[in-house]
Amino acid sequence: METVMENHVANVPDTSGATLDNLTVLTGMHREEVRAWMQQRGLPAFRGDQVFSWIHRGRDFDEMTNLPLSMRETLKSSAVAQPVKISDSFHSRVDDTVKFLYEMRDGNCVEGVLMHYHHGYSLCISTQVGCNMGCAFCASTLEGCVRSLSAGEMLGEVLCANRYLEEKGEKVHNLVLMGAGEPLDNYDEVMRFLRLLREKGGIELSLRSVSLSTCGLVDRIRRLADEDLPVTLSLSLHAPNDEVRRKIMPIAKRWSMKEALDACRYYIEKTGRRVIVEYALIDGVNASVEQAEELAGKLRNMQVHVNLIPLNEVKERQLKGVSERQVRAFLERLEACHISATRRREMGDDIAGACGQLRRSVILSRGAEAGTSA
């Protein structure tokens, strides 16, 4: 937890014409890129429109029934339509939450969580396989970052969830980039992914329905503010001051809280959108009413909303969660200081709902099996 990576992770696939096992991955391409790719192979451009539409409905080549069989066979031999599959799913017994274990074509796995609210279904997706940020309360970072996901793989997570919801006549209405990984550490692919979400003829998801969570890569927050992409920015703050934040978040050793909040102010100014401040309550670390008052002082006169999260304990860490009394006391102090705040609704607790827990259990299980086989 002593160092922070220099914002970059190796092996980020280039989805605009990238290859996987000598196959071109079409999922991360925009419509015009798919049309151009088809034309380069002597196929009519309008077939590219059809392929693009099928891909965004979560279909593989065999299911593209308005294409000639010979064309489907040609596509199968040269391209990939769906680079992600759901290898397992876990259903909560206490609510309608489903946790997906997604598998990439290279065997790596990431997690997604599908949550049902009164306004529809929200999906939390991963942007990297693991994470380099080293936050002390998070299971995603325990093995570091294996690689970043491509735009097509991130889109694949959404397409799989939409396919899962089809039998209910539903689809994903809200999207949260808050699973494994730091989205702004995978900046270019995440930007491509966001633009794919709203492309006509695709899934056409409004970016106002998308939230992006960052631990505070200040330069990237400012860059995002200039992208003209109206996503909701969530800042993982988790501390009332730099001293506490540096103990639990290595990123705080690179950028101060003031720098992070100033970047959020710039985001608010440029986009006109409220910023969400994520705050995981950790017993004996950041959860006293005095710390609530200190936090309120830092956020005063900002267009923010604080989302309080009782810590979901990770057994490999020594941090403890808080009682309901502590949550209420912290929340009431923020409200008394005129800071908008709510307690996050807990969902999927019985299915390892916190990001990183499921993937880690799978990694440990595979390791145990390998050891037994040896």
What is the secondary structure of 101-151 as a DSSP string?
A: EEEETTS-EEEEEEEEETTEEEEEE-SEEE-SS--TT-STTTT-EEEEPPH
pLDDT higher than threshold 80 for residue 362:
no
SS3 of residue 316 by DSSP:
coil
Distance separating alpha carbons of residues 115 and 120, to the nearest angstrom: 8
pLDDT of residue 7: 37
Residue 15 to residues 7, 18, 107, 192, 236, Cα–Cα distance (Å)? 20, 5, 18, 9, 28
294/314: higher pLDDT: 294
Q: Which residue numbers are catalytic?
A: 111, 355
**How large is the average pLDDT for residues 227-250?**
97
Please tell me whether the overall predicted TM-score, pTM, comes out greater than 0.85 for this model.
Answer: yes
**In the block, which residue shows the tokens 């209420």?**
328
pLDDT higher than threshold 90 for residue 172:
yes
pLDDT of residue 8: 37
pLDDT digits (tens, 9 = 90+) for 240-272: 999 999 999 999 999 999 999 999 999 999 999
Q: Given pLDDT bands bounded at 50, 70 and 90, which one contains residue 356?
A: low
Distance separating alpha carbons of residues 120 and 172, to the nearest angstrom: 7
pLDDT of residue 3: 38
In order of their start, the domains of the chain are 19-80 (1.10.150.530), 84-370 (3.20.20.70)
Q: Given pLDDT bands bounded at 50, 70 and 90, which one contains residue 289?
A: very high
Q: Which two tokens stand for residue 265?
A: 């102010």
**How large is the average pLDDT for residues 139-148?**
87
Q: Which of 26, 24, 38 is nearest to 67 (CA)?
A: 38
pLDDT higher than threshold 90 for residue 142:
no
Q: Given pLDDT bands bounded at 50, 70 and 90, which one contains residue 49?
A: very high
Mean pLDDT rounded to a whole number for the chain: 89
